[in-house]
Amino acid sequence: MSAAEPHTEQSTGPTEPRTELDPRFSSPGAEPARWADAQRLLAGAELYWLTTVRPDGRPHATPLIGVWWRGALHFCTGAEERKARNLAANPEVVLTTGTSTWAEGFDLVVEGRADRVTDGGLLSGLAGAWEAKYGAVWHFDVADGVFVGAQGNRAEVFAVSPRTVFGFGKGDPFTQTRWRFA
Protein backbone atom coordinates (compact mmCIF):
# COMPACT_ATOMS: atom_id res chain seq x y z
CA MET A 1 0.00 0.00 0.00
CA SER A 2 1.51 3.36 -0.99
CA ALA A 3 1.32 6.40 1.30
CA ALA A 4 -1.43 7.90 -0.87
CA GLU A 5 -3.69 4.84 -0.67
CA PRO A 6 -6.15 4.67 2.22
CA HIS A 7 -5.97 1.73 4.61
CA THR A 8 -9.41 0.06 4.39
CA GLU A 9 -11.24 -2.47 6.56
CA GLN A 10 -14.32 -4.22 5.25
CA SER A 11 -17.46 -3.99 7.33
CA THR A 12 -18.23 -6.91 9.61
CA GLY A 13 -22.02 -6.73 9.48
CA PRO A 14 -25.00 -5.04 7.87
CA THR A 15 -24.80 -1.98 10.17
CA GLU A 16 -21.02 -1.75 10.25
CA PRO A 17 -19.49 1.00 8.14
CA ARG A 18 -16.62 0.73 5.72
CA THR A 19 -13.55 2.07 7.55
CA GLU A 20 -10.66 3.95 5.90
CA LEU A 21 -7.55 5.56 7.32
CA ASP A 22 -6.26 8.53 5.34
CA PRO A 23 -2.46 8.24 5.53
CA ARG A 24 -2.00 11.83 4.32
CA PHE A 25 -3.27 13.07 7.67
CA SER A 26 -2.16 10.21 9.91
CA SER A 27 1.10 9.36 11.64
CA PRO A 28 3.28 6.72 9.99
CA GLY A 29 2.13 3.26 11.00
CA ALA A 30 -1.16 4.52 12.45
CA GLU A 31 -4.21 2.26 12.36
CA PRO A 32 -7.77 3.42 11.73
CA ALA A 33 -9.87 4.11 14.79
CA ARG A 34 -12.48 1.49 15.61
CA TRP A 35 -16.13 2.34 14.95
CA ALA A 36 -17.07 0.89 18.37
CA ASP A 37 -14.74 3.43 20.02
CA ALA A 38 -16.25 6.28 17.97
CA GLN A 39 -19.74 5.21 19.04
CA ARG A 40 -18.69 5.28 22.69
CA LEU A 41 -17.38 8.82 22.22
CA LEU A 42 -20.59 9.87 20.46
CA ALA A 43 -22.66 8.40 23.29
CA GLY A 44 -20.56 9.99 26.02
CA ALA A 45 -20.17 13.48 24.58
CA GLU A 46 -21.84 16.16 26.66
CA LEU A 47 -22.08 18.76 23.90
CA TYR A 48 -22.38 18.70 20.12
CA TRP A 49 -22.24 21.42 17.48
CA LEU A 50 -24.97 21.32 14.84
CA THR A 51 -24.42 22.98 11.47
CA THR A 52 -27.43 23.57 9.24
CA VAL A 53 -27.88 25.63 6.06
CA ARG A 54 -29.99 28.80 6.00
CA PRO A 55 -32.38 29.29 3.06
CA ASP A 56 -29.93 31.78 1.51
CA GLY A 57 -27.11 29.20 1.64
CA ARG A 58 -25.20 30.59 4.62
CA PRO A 59 -24.23 28.12 7.34
CA HIS A 60 -25.67 28.26 10.84
CA ALA A 61 -23.88 26.54 13.74
CA THR A 62 -25.07 26.15 17.30
CA PRO A 63 -24.10 24.05 20.32
CA LEU A 64 -26.67 21.66 21.73
CA ILE A 65 -27.09 18.51 23.76
CA GLY A 66 -28.13 15.20 22.30
CA VAL A 67 -28.03 11.45 22.61
CA TRP A 68 -26.52 8.68 20.52
CA TRP A 69 -29.29 6.06 20.53
CA ARG A 70 -29.93 3.08 18.27
CA GLY A 71 -27.28 4.04 15.74
CA ALA A 72 -28.25 7.69 15.29
CA LEU A 73 -27.44 11.02 16.90
CA HIS A 74 -30.61 12.70 18.22
CA PHE A 75 -31.23 16.33 19.11
CA CYS A 76 -34.26 18.51 19.72
CA THR A 77 -35.24 22.10 18.94
CA GLY A 78 -38.25 24.36 19.07
CA ALA A 79 -40.18 24.55 15.79
CA GLU A 80 -39.58 28.31 15.48
CA GLU A 81 -35.85 28.22 16.17
CA ARG A 82 -33.43 29.00 13.33
CA LYS A 83 -32.14 25.42 13.13
CA ALA A 84 -35.68 23.99 12.80
CA ARG A 85 -36.55 26.48 10.08
CA ASN A 86 -33.31 25.62 8.28
CA LEU A 87 -34.06 21.89 8.53
CA ALA A 88 -37.51 22.39 7.03
CA ALA A 89 -35.83 23.69 3.87
CA ASN A 90 -32.71 21.49 3.86
CA PRO A 91 -32.35 18.48 6.19
CA GLU A 92 -28.63 17.91 5.47
CA VAL A 93 -26.53 18.55 8.59
CA VAL A 94 -23.13 18.16 10.18
CA LEU A 95 -22.80 17.37 13.89
CA THR A 96 -19.41 17.64 15.58
CA THR A 97 -18.04 16.85 19.01
CA GLY A 98 -14.61 16.40 20.53
CA THR A 99 -11.92 18.35 22.30
CA SER A 100 -10.67 21.87 21.70
CA THR A 101 -7.02 20.89 21.82
CA TRP A 102 -4.40 20.39 19.15
CA ALA A 103 -2.28 17.50 20.38
CA GLU A 104 -4.63 15.30 22.43
CA GLY A 105 -8.13 13.94 22.27
CA PHE A 106 -10.42 12.80 19.49
CA ASP A 107 -12.85 14.80 17.33
CA LEU A 108 -15.82 13.42 15.43
CA VAL A 109 -17.72 14.88 12.48
CA VAL A 110 -21.05 13.23 11.61
CA GLU A 111 -22.58 13.98 8.20
CA GLY A 112 -26.15 12.98 7.47
CA ARG A 113 -29.78 13.90 7.08
CA ALA A 114 -31.86 15.08 10.06
CA ASP A 115 -35.20 13.27 10.03
CA ARG A 116 -38.06 14.12 12.39
CA VAL A 117 -38.95 11.53 15.03
CA THR A 118 -42.69 11.61 15.77
CA ASP A 119 -43.49 8.06 16.91
CA GLY A 120 -44.63 8.18 20.53
CA GLY A 121 -42.84 4.97 21.52
CA LEU A 122 -39.54 6.13 20.06
CA LEU A 123 -39.95 9.57 21.65
CA SER A 124 -40.62 8.00 25.05
CA GLY A 125 -37.45 5.93 24.73
CA LEU A 126 -35.49 9.01 23.71
CA ALA A 127 -36.93 11.06 26.58
CA GLY A 128 -35.66 8.38 28.95
CA ALA A 129 -32.24 8.43 27.26
CA TRP A 130 -32.05 12.24 27.61
CA GLU A 131 -32.88 12.13 31.31
CA ALA A 132 -30.49 9.22 31.94
CA LYS A 133 -27.67 11.16 30.31
CA TYR A 134 -28.33 14.73 31.49
CA GLY A 135 -30.40 14.33 34.68
CA ALA A 136 -33.89 15.37 35.73
CA VAL A 137 -33.39 18.95 34.56
CA TRP A 138 -33.78 17.52 31.04
CA HIS A 139 -36.97 15.55 31.74
CA PHE A 140 -39.38 15.51 28.80
CA ASP A 141 -42.92 14.28 28.48
CA VAL A 142 -44.18 13.18 25.07
CA ALA A 143 -47.35 14.50 23.41
CA ASP A 144 -48.49 14.94 19.82
CA GLY A 145 -45.19 13.76 18.31
CA VAL A 146 -42.92 16.16 20.24
CA PHE A 147 -41.07 16.52 23.54
CA VAL A 148 -42.82 18.70 26.11
CA GLY A 149 -40.67 20.37 28.77
CA ALA A 150 -41.54 21.41 32.33
CA GLN A 151 -42.78 24.86 31.28
CA GLY A 152 -44.84 23.41 28.45
CA ASN A 153 -42.22 24.23 25.81
CA ARG A 154 -42.48 21.93 22.83
CA ALA A 155 -39.46 20.59 20.96
CA GLU A 156 -39.26 18.67 17.73
CA VAL A 157 -36.86 15.72 17.84
CA PHE A 158 -34.54 14.80 14.98
CA ALA A 159 -32.44 11.71 14.26
CA VAL A 160 -29.27 11.89 12.20
CA SER A 161 -28.30 8.47 10.90
CA PRO A 162 -24.71 8.84 9.77
CA ARG A 163 -23.87 8.72 6.09
CA THR A 164 -20.20 9.53 6.70
CA VAL A 165 -18.32 10.04 9.97
CA PHE A 166 -14.79 11.42 10.26
CA GLY A 167 -12.64 10.75 13.31
CA PHE A 168 -9.57 12.82 14.07
CA GLY A 169 -7.14 11.33 16.58
CA LYS A 170 -4.79 13.98 17.95
CA GLY A 171 -1.43 13.31 19.52
CA ASP A 172 0.60 10.17 19.28
CA PRO A 173 -0.47 8.93 16.85
CA PHE A 174 -2.41 11.40 14.74
CA THR A 175 -5.12 9.65 12.72
CA GLN A 176 -7.85 10.54 10.28
CA THR A 177 -10.43 7.78 9.96
CA ARG A 178 -13.50 7.83 7.73
CA TRP A 179 -16.51 5.57 8.25
CA ARG A 180 -18.92 5.29 5.32
CA PHE A 181 -22.37 3.79 5.71
CA ALA A 182 -24.36 2.01 3.00
Q: Mean pLDDT across the stretch 125-129?
A: 98
Residue 151: what pLDDT?
92
What's the pLDDT tens digit per position in 14-65? 478 999 999 999 999 999 999 999 999 999 999 999 999 999 999 999 999 9
Specify the 3-state DSSP secondary structure of 100.
coil
Confidence of residue 1 (pLDDT cuts 50, 70, 90): very low
Any residues with CB less than 8 A from the CB of 170 and at least 6 apart, and which? 99, 101, 102, 103, 104, 105, 106, 107
CATH T-level assignment (fold) for domain 26-118+154-180: Pnp Oxidase; Chain A (2.30.110)
- Domain locations in the chain as residue ranges: 26-118+154-180
Would the pTM of this model clear 0.95, i.e. be above it?
A: no
Specify the 3-state DSSP secondary structure of 92.
strand
Please check whether residue 52 is in contact with residue 83, taking contact to mean a CB–CB distance below 8 angstroms.
yes
Confidence of residue 10 (pLDDT cuts 50, 70, 90): very low
What's the pLDDT tens digit per position in 137-159? 999 999 999 999 999 999 999 99
Specify the 3-state DSSP secondary structure of 166.
strand
